[in-house]
A and B are shown apart, each in its own frame.
Chain A
Amino acid sequence: MSVLEIRDLHVSVGEGDDAKEILRGVDLTVRSGETHAIMGPNGSGKSTLAYSIAGHPKYTITGGSVTLDGEDVLEMSVDERARAGLFLAMQYPVEVPGVSVSNFLRTAATAIKGEAPKLRTWVKDVKTEMSGLEMDPAFAERNVNEGFSGGEKKRHEILQMRLLKPAIAILDETDSGLDVDALRVVSEGVNKSREDSDVGVLLITHYTRILKYIKPDFVHVFVAGKVVDEGGPELAAKLEDEGYAAYVKGAPEVASA
């Protein structure tokens, strides 16, 4: 049982006079087994929230706290956060030339588990998960994200989530740029993790489309750097019909998503 607690989180980008506050007091609690959807218009700071939790150096925490089971996440380095059980599926996964997917996955699994996984079971696990995500086995010998299509990148992110088995997974606009087929496959991967593990999911999205496949327990509306409304799945239905107009009124855009 894990709990990710975000309290009054303030985050800015830039230095000195150019510093710009993007998150303005975010409160959120994600527990094992729960699926939370964060929905908001472009520029509301959704991705900033995701990257701040993961520890991207671009963002400066100016106030508030993030804890995982009471441990101070903000004090941890990026890799320590991952080893503590956090996982971020990125919107724009980075190409790493010359590093094969299989080498990368095994290095990551070794880091997370603290010891190299047994070759035999590992190979089988990777194969099984890849086939579940309808990925060609040849994929494993390609360089990380290099020349991947949008759909391949997202499948690769979910493949990592499946293999690394995080306590809390943050999915940053995993649905963006996917065709219906890829969206279905990726969603099935996420749902499988929700069924066969106790993972807590923080699903960040601009559209309601992915919520047809991944049913959230809680929906949070995110505008101008904080949560402005909360509810159950019915809130997503309302957003589908009415959009963000009611929330955005008077709230200036603070950042590009």
Chain B
Amino acid sequence: MPDQNAPTTTGLTTESATLAGELFGDGVGTQAGPPAVPAAGTGTAGQAAPGAHSHGGSTPTGSPAERFTSTDPDAFGVPTGREETWRFTPMKRIRPLLDGAPSDAHLTWTTDLPEGVELTSVEAGDPLLKGLPEPVDRLAALARQRCGGAAVVRVAKEAQPDRPVTLGLAGTGSDDVVWGHLVIEVGAFAQATIVLDHSGLAKYAGGVSVLVGDGAQVKLVSVQDWAPGAVHGGQYDAVVGRDATFTQVVVTLGGDLVRLVSNVQYAGPGGTAELFGVYFSDETQHQEHRLWVDHAVPNCTSNVLYKGALQGEGARTVWIGDVRIRPAATGTETYELNRNLVLTDGARADSVPNLEIETGEIVGAGHASATGRFDDEQLFYLCSRGIDAETARRLVVRGFFADVVQRIGLDALQDRLMASIDERLGALPALDDQPVEVA
């Protein structure tokens, strides 16, 4: 069981076993989890050496005590696939993003910028870029170096744009790697939603850095609706200001390989981060989402919910959820949950939650992970109302996705994504196309 990876320290609640039992049958389809060995530095409150560079070594659990970061790609070496952070990734398919061949290839941008929002760019060496969280792997370091500068979206302080900022980023089908870096800077007390809508065919290494000003409320939606054959790797960083709220919704549906690393750090106390994700892997698709929430200041909250479904031979998903609560981060409240629904044989979901707690003075910390087939109790409930088993199955799976998709809060986009999911699940009865407003 994945929960065995969790260091057991004061205040930790581990619910994997219970949840898995409630949600799914007896571990059918479960293929989660690496060896149950605690990570270096886990469970030894207060003893982890700051700055120590541990890539797991002989205890591969995906939770290095301290992360190595650098803007220099060569500082990471060229990964072989045996490294902890790369061991799940199909190296052959991601290789172009690690080779680092320079390129001028671009994605086609279609933008919708409401008032109070500007889109500009900065050159390499701009002070803005120096202050950003550094890359955590070679892919991210290459993306930042090769793209030479960054696109910048600025939301003025206290601005409340009347509609979401939308950046449609479409691949042009070029075989050359597109290197990209986007910085989203949101001023204090602003409220904004930013949608990154990826589509088309591309090999794309794109970093996204979000700076959330004090008291600001920012929602970042990243849709990976790539065409078949696309490869997308990237590091998403959020720096959450004092009393600010950052919400991220990641939706990965398309592409051959998608590997996103999402990191959150807090610039001041009182911050909230909500990380939602949903992914749907079909035959041969590899979808990897790695999260790292670093609680280093007091009274911050993080909540992670990622749900994925897999169908078809060779469908593959990886979810790594690392949460660290450093000694200074008293009053922290964190919870992370990953659920995987395995729809057919031949698919594999890895799910590795890691919690590292270095202070006992927290509000709460917990995680759960469950991987399995259908929930028979849900099916029974729906069928007992006269709904046939096939329709019930579709309702449950559709609901499984909708649970996360509805957190986007944008009806048109939600409808588009659910339609895309429906199509892959097979058409639902026409009834479902006409939802009823009872209120």
Map CB proximity to A onto B203-246 as digits: 1 under 8 Å, 0 otherwise.
00000000000000000000000000000000000000000000
Q: Are B398 and A100 in contact (CB under 8 A)?
A: no
Give the dominant DSSP class at B's interface: helix
**With A98-B400, A102-B435 already in contact, 19 other A-B pairs whose C-beta atoms are closer than 8 Å:** A55-B384, A78-B384, A78-B389, A79-B385, A82-B385, A83-B386, A88-B384, A94-B375, A94-B381, A96-B396, A102-B436, A102-B438, A103-B435, A104-B385, A107-B395, A108-B386, A122-B436, A160-B385, A164-B385
CB < 8 Å neighbour of A164 from B386, B395, B404: B386
Q: Does B26 contact A (CB under 8 A)?
A: no
Beta-carbon contact of A77 and B383 below 8 Å: yes
Provide the residues of chain B in CB contact with A110, threshold 8 Å: 431
Residues on the A chain within 8 Å of B391, using CB: 107, 111
Q: Is the CB of B435 within 8 A of A100?
A: yes
Of A81, A98, A101, A144, chain B has the most CB atoms within 10 Å of the CB of: A98
Q: Does A116 contact B (CB under 8 A)?
A: yes
Contact B381 A123 (CB under 8 A): no
Binary interface encoding of chain B residues 396-409 relative to chain A, with 1 for a CB under 8 A from any of its CBs, else 0: 10111111101000
B387 near A: Cβ within 8 Å?
yes
Contact B385 A111 (CB under 8 A): yes
Interface size on B, residues (CB 8 A): 35
In the complex, which residues of chain A have a beta carbon less than 8 angstroms from the beta carbon of B400?
97-98
Does B388 reach chain A (CB closer than 8 Å)?
A: yes
The reply to whether the CB of A3 lies closer than 8 angstroms to some CB of chain B is no
* Residue among A54, A88, A93, A107 making CB contact with B387, cutoff 8 Å: A107
Indicate whether B49 reaches chain A with its CB closer than 8 angstroms: no
The answer to whether B376 has its CB under 8 Å from any CB of chain A is yes
- Which A residues, 38 to 69, have Cβ-Cβ distances below 8 Å to chain B? 54-57
| CA–CA, A94 and B384, complex, Å | 11
With an 8 A cutoff between CB atoms, is A246 at the interface?
Answer: no
Closest Cβ of chain B to A15, distance in Å, is 13
Q: How far is the CB of B80 from chain A (nearest CB, A)?
A: 40
Query: Which of these, B376, B387, B406, B437, contacts A79 with CB under 8 Å?
Result: B387
Contacts of A17-37 to chain B: CB distance below 8 A = none
A184 at the interface (CB under 8 A from B): no
Enumerate chain A residues within 8 angstroms of B432, measured Cβ to Cβ: 103, 107
Contact of A56 among B380, B401, B404 (CB under 8 A): B380
Query: What number of A residues sit within 8 Å (CB to CB) of B?
Result: 46
* Beta-carbon contacts under 8 Å, A72-129 to B: 77-79, 81-83, 87-88, 90, 93-104, 106-108, 110-112, 116, 119, 122-123, 126-127
Verify if B378 is at the interface (C-beta below 8 Å from A).
yes
A143 close to B403 (CB less than 8 A): yes
Of A4-12, A133-141, A185-193, A209-217, the stretch lying at the interface with chain B is: A133-141
Q: Are A99 and B435 in contact (CB under 8 A)?
A: no
Once A94-B378, A103-B435, A116-B431 are accepted as A-B contacts, the answer to whether A79 and B399 lie under 8 Å apart by CB is no
B377 part of interface (Cβ distance < 8 Å): yes
In the assembled complex, the Cα of A98 lies from the Cα of B421 at a distance in Å of 13
The complex places the Cα of A111 from the Cα of B432 at a distance, in Å, of 13
Complex-state Cα separation, A249 to B295, whole angstroms: 60
Q: Is B382 an interface residue (CB 8 A)?
A: yes
Within 8 A of A (CB), among B400-422: 400-404, 406
- Contact check, A99 vs B436: say whether CB atoms are below 8 A apart: no
A56 to B382, CA, bound (A): 12
Contact A96 B395 (CB under 8 A): yes
**Assembly CA distance A106 to B428 (angstroms):** 14
Residues of B close to A78: CB separation below 8 A: 380, 383-384, 389
